[in-house]
Amino acid sequence: ELDLPLNASSWSEEDLKKPEKFYEMTVLLNAQREIADKILDAQWETKWRQEKVGKIDSIPTI
């Protein structure tokens, strides 16, 4: 089981002396950052779309 979000302190200093554990940490932290970036991008896009729809709805019809 993982406690999220991960950070470097999620691994012990002893673990990080092992190359495979250091690699694991690097891969997981990078993946976590990429996922977070994608979530933020999707949230921004959703907000942008909602604002555009709001502008279209407020345009008076002739």
- What pTM did the predictor assign? 0.70
Q: What is the pLDDT of residue 58?
A: 73
Q: Is 49 helix (H, G, I), strand (E, B) or coil?
A: helix
Instruction: Identify the segments of the chain with pLDDT beneath 70.
Output: 1-2, 61-62
Q: How far is CA 25 from CA 3, 4, 29, 53, 54, in A?
A: 13, 13, 6, 42, 43
Q: What is the pLDDT of residue 2?
A: 65
22's CB contacts (< 8 A; 6+ apart) are 16
